[in-house]
Amino acid sequence: MLTQIGIVPDEVVAADVDEKPRRGELPGALALRLATAKAQHVAKRFTGDFVLGADTVVACGRRVLPKAGDEQEAHACLKLLSGRRHRVFGGIAVVDPGGTLHGRRVMTTVAFKRLTKGDIQGYLAAGEWRGKAGAYAIQGRAGAFVSRVNGSYSNVVGLPLYETAALLAGLGYGGGGAA
């Protein structure tokens, strides 16, 4: 997604962090905590560089929806989202070359149409739900389920591009690569 805004990372590194919510942790706080943990974890290997960490959390009320591990869990997520509004929280965190951490949280509200059994079965069969927060990808077939988006569309895809670009620009990042 970064290449869409003219940023080509020098390297993309997966950060191994525990993504389970803490007891009583709100969805927005979780997204920012995970983004921060990822950035800090990777920054240990890339001192003196800009390091970006990000995470996306889908929430229905205070309930955090999982990255569905199987079809049954994905089905439960889609049934819960059917005919309702939910929120997508994006956490972005940057460790600057001096080692200082900067973070932002972005919230987007998404409304789903009422899903039929056929909608759900077809989506599950297509497999797009795998590895997706809330078991859907708005940029794919699930786009047909979305009746309204209020806020950053790219946040729902996985990275709030406007806010990420603004954060990096504010920190003096001039492009040409980031870890």
110 torsion bin: left (phi>0), alpha (psi -120 to 50), beta (else): beta
Residue given tokens 């990808």 in the structure block: 137
CA angle at 20 for the pair 178 and 24, rounded to the nearest 5°: 115
Active-site residues, by number, are 55
- Tokens encoding 40: 């800090």
Helix (H, G, I), strand (E, B) or coil at 108: strand
Q: How many CB atoms lie within 10 A of CB 15?
A: 18
- Whole-number CA gyration radius for the chain: 17
- Tokens encoding 57: 């959390």
Closest to 37 (Cα-Cα) out of 49, 19, 63? 19
